[in-house]
Chain A
Amino acid sequence: AQKVTQAQTEISVVEKEDVTLDCVYETRDTTYYLFWYKQPPSGELVFLIRRNSFDEQNEISGRYSWNFQKSTSSFNFTITASQVVDSAVYFCALSEVGDSSYKLIFGSGTRLLVRP
């Protein structure tokens, strides 16, 4: 069965520290997509990245970087030099190409608190 696990419920760091959010997924599909979304205190869900199962290249976007490792079924997210504005709940999600509902399976989220 498909599942996304974010074992870190809450992380607290001081501004400018680097922080890595872990995501482990389970799927039987060979073709799937992985995502990260950010939910700031205002409540909306903001798309950060999409990765397909055939592309294991790491990606960097400014202070954000993602490490996709199929061998360990992980898709970890690192924020470099964290800022207070990064404080939010971050969700990892999975979408299987074989699923006709096109649904996103979300992890339980990691709450990140960046202290000044």
Chain B
Amino acid sequence: EAQVTQNPRYLITVTGKKLTVTCSQNMNHEYMSWYRQDPGLGLRQIYYSMNVEVTDKGDVPEGYKVSRKEKRNFPLILESPSPNQTSLYFCASSRTGYGYTFGSGTRLTVV
């Protein structure tokens, strides 16, 4: 089944403890992206990638890192999470860059 898989689905962590949210797609898509969804602010792009080793900042990249060492994987790294990074995170992939398949989301709480 064609899908984008994110893990974990839910995560509660403490301020400053590094964490990684994994994202993997099995559709051989070149384009991948991370979004966060917050009440009142909607969905905003954090980082995107157009291919292996090609990544760039989206609209809200502060406090996040990404890497794209393989085509299928696009992990989101929070080196020192803070409470304002509590959010619902989505990974997405696309063949063309226009129209994305989204993962199921990761609900992160930073206390």
User: Shortest CB–CB separation between residue A1 and chain B, in angstroms?
Assistant: 12
B65 at interface, CB cutoff 8 A: no
Q: A33-B99, A44-B102, A109-B42 are in contact. Are A102 and B107 (CB under 8 A)?
A: no
Contact B42 A108 (CB under 8 A): yes
SS class of chain A's interface: helix, strand, loop or mixed?
loop
Interface residues on A, range: 20 to 34
CA distance in complex: A88, B33 (Å): 23
Please report the C-alpha to C-alpha distance between residue A37 and residue B48 in the assembled complex, in whole angstroms: 19
Complex Cα–Cα for A45 and B43 (A): 11
Q: Are A104 and B42 in contact (CB under 8 A)?
A: no
Question: DSSP majority for the B interface?
Answer: strand
Q: Find the A residue at minimum CB distance from B99.
A: A50
Q: Is the CB of A97 within 8 A of B33?
A: no
The answer to whether A47 and B58 touch across the interface, beta carbons within 8 angstroms, is no
The 7 A-B residue pairs with the shortest CB-CB distance, nearest first, are A102-B97, A45-B102, A103-B45, A106-B43, A50-B99, A44-B104, A33-B98
A-B contact list, 22 entries, CB within 8 Å:
A35-B99, A43-B88, A43-B105, A44-B102, A44-B103, A45-B102, A45-B105, A47-B99, A47-B100, A47-B101, A52-B98, A95-B98, A97-B98, A101-B45, A101-B58, A102-B33, A103-B45, A103-B58, A104-B43, A104-B100, A108-B42, A109-B42
